[in-house]
Amino acid sequence: MNLIPAQPYDYELPSDLQKVALLIIDMQRDFLEPGGFGEALGNDVSYLSAIIPTTKRLLKIFRELQLPIFYTIEGHQPNLSDCPPSKLHRGNSTLKIGDAGPMGRILVLGEPGNAIIPELQPIANETVISKPGKGAFYQTQLESHLNKQGITHLIITGVTTEVCVQTTMREANDRGFECLLVEDATASYFPQFRQSTLEMIRAQGGIVGWTATTANVIQALD
Ligand code: C5J
């Protein structure tokens, strides 16, 4: 039995590792790069870029073992037809979804800022899911991809911990996936929100799932 030392207790990997997928959430230039939308809103993007090395290490081992890898991008069609008015108008920022930002139109698919950062560029046979919401299961093909490939276990990384990552993990948990969030491969502009999310996920015997470090995940897979 292959176990990842985790909280609140060890996470059991299936004997067939092809059932385990790496899910990298919203590592987009506009959220992570200096000069992007996230920084334009006054956020310190270094909190987010700090997880690039750990995410790269996880990507490397999943690629070496030829295990399934999925990425998500939060973005909308250029005509914003998939963006509900509530999302479009929320907030008091001068820059809204669809407006021209420092790296193209904000949260619009295909714009430079909407791309995954160069350090984590997907390669052949890796699946990129674009999503209009915070959760990766809402109005996407993610669930059918996972089911078709027989995936039962998700190793989850990305940004931001308390928004798209947590929403996705809760959606996945409700659908029966065994989810582990990698503690040092997820980040928020608000470090205290990241910490609270980790704690609430693994509370009550792992009510949403497990958390573990990158090193422990890699050691168990190696
Ligand atoms: C993500 C957001 N990816 N915070 N989006 O968390 O709007």
Which of the listed residues 23, 25, 27, 31 should we mutate to test ligand 1's pocket, taking the one with most ligand atoms within 8 A of CB?
Answer: 31
1 pLDDT higher than 80: no
* Alpha carbon separation from 220 to 16, 60, 156, 162, 173 (Å, rounded): 13, 14, 16, 26, 22
Which of the listed residues 23, 25, 26 should we mutate to test ligand 1's pocket, taking the one with most ligand atoms within 8 A of CB?
Answer: 26
Average pLDDT over residues 96-125: 96
pLDDT of residue 65: 98
Q: Kindly state if the Cβ of 74 falls inside 6 Å of ligand 1.
A: yes
pLDDT of residue 41: 87
Residues annotated as catalytic are 26, 131, 164
- 6-40 pLDDT, tens digit each: 999 999 999 999 999 999 999 999 999 998 889 98
Atom of ligand 1 nearest to the CA of 28: 3
Kindly report the three-state secondary structure assignment for every residue of the chain: CEEECCECCCEEECCCHHHEEEEEECCEHHHHCCCCHHHHCCCCCHHHHCCHHHHHHHHHHHHHCCCCEEEEEECECCCCCCCCHHHHHCCCCCCCCCCEEECEECCECCCHHHCECHHHCCCCCCEEEEECCCCCCCCCCHHHHHHHCCCCEEEEEEECHHHHHHHHHHHHHHCCCEEEEEEEEEECCCHHHHHHHHHHHHHHHHCCCEEECHHHHHHHHC
91 pLDDT higher than 80: yes
pLDDT of residue 130: 98
As a whole-number percent, the residues of the chain with pLDDT over 90 amount to: 94
Q: Give distance in angstroms: CA of 161 to centre of ligand 1.
A: 8
Residue 112: pLDDT band (50, 70, 90) is very high
pLDDT of residue 44: 96
152 pLDDT higher than 90: yes
pTM given for the model = 0.98
Atom of ligand 1 nearest to the CA of 26: 3
Average pLDDT over residues 129-157: 98
Do 209 and 169 touch, CB atoms closer than 8 A? yes
Q: Kindly state if the Cβ of 160 falls inside 6 Å of ligand 1.
A: yes
- 74-87 pLDDT, tens digit each: 999 999 999 999 99
Q: Kindly state if the Cβ of 26 falls inside 6 Å of ligand 1.
A: yes
pLDDT of residue 40: 85
Q: Give distance in angstroms: CA of 164 to centre of ligand 1.
A: 5
Atom of ligand 1 nearest to the CA of 74: 3
Residue 92: pLDDT band (50, 70, 90) is confident
